[in-house]
Amino acid sequence: MNNNYAIGVFDSGMGGLTSVKELNELLPGEDIIYFGDTARIPYGSRSRETVLRYAREDVAFLLKHKIKMIIAACGTVSSVIGSEPLVDNMPFTGVLLPAAQAACAATKTGKIGVIGTPATIRSGSFGKAIKAIMPHAKVIGNACPLFVHLVENGYTARDCQITRLAAEEYLTPIKAEGVDTLILGCTHYPVIKDIIADIMGEGVKLISPGAEAAKYAQSCLMSADMLNEEGHVGKNTFYVSDSRELFEENAKHFLEHPVSGEVFSCNLGE
């Protein structure tokens, strides 16, 4: 495996850009190739079999490029595959285990909340991962099916009443349980973390799975001596399965700055 190869990142849409943002900050010398399956978003309302098929197709697309590691920066995919890697010839991680480890390290009461897509919550994977680390933890989950659509369509401002009303509906049952840690179990959710934090209150630690996966990737590549050559300036390359223009317009909400790097529209069959 060539150390100068890129890190591959994929997601159902743009949520995985939260991982890209963190990778750019942690590993500025690394090239990133990102694939967002924007034509088929959301994955969270699909069956397990469909999610697995989509994920394998996403991985196959990334493998056509020169990459040395893959991050499945999608909470739904990560929940469906659990701890099973989708490749066996290079390092691989989802967002599930890094987020569960971070939540267990952060909680003081053992009460951990999880929000995610319906498929993520239905799988119970975050709860299983948490209890494998902390058997006596109490895990409270709730699906937030509207969040992905709201974020993808730019309803992300802290004072956005539509998103705030949805968040209050979804978060009130979790807050009532007295959690002190909340996993934002879809990589779209950190974009509206200010709204979530306002509702949950100051005493609740928010865990961003995309950011935790990026930290895991940094540790993995460092320990395997697979970082790019010193002095190399990393670049981002983005591929999307739908509108390039729409991606560029909305990506800034995830990256917190305009897109830096080339953006290509593609078909998975290409």
Q: Could you tell me the sign of the dihedral formed by the alpha carbons of 118, 24, 5, 64, in that order?
A: positive
- For residue 172, what is the enclosing H or E element? helix 161-176
pLDDT at 111: 98
Look up residue 94 and give its two tokens: 């989802």
Q: What is the pLDDT of residue 83?
A: 76
Is the Cβ–Cβ distance between 111 and 180 less than 8 Å?
Answer: yes
pTM: 0.88
Q: For residue 77, which of 187, 161, 168 has the smallest C-alpha distance?
A: 187
Instruction: Give me 260's structure tokens.
Output: 């830096």
Structural domains of the chain ordered from first start: 6-94+211-265 (3.40.50.1860), 97-209 (3.40.50.1860)
pLDDT value of residue 23: 96
Please give the pLDDT value at position 19.
94
User: What averages of pLDDT result for each successive group of 10 residues across the chain (270 residues)?
Assistant: 92 91 95 95 88 95 96 91 87 94 97 94 93 97 93 90 97 97 93 96 95 94 92 94 90 87 83
Residue positions annotated with a catalytic role: 74, 186
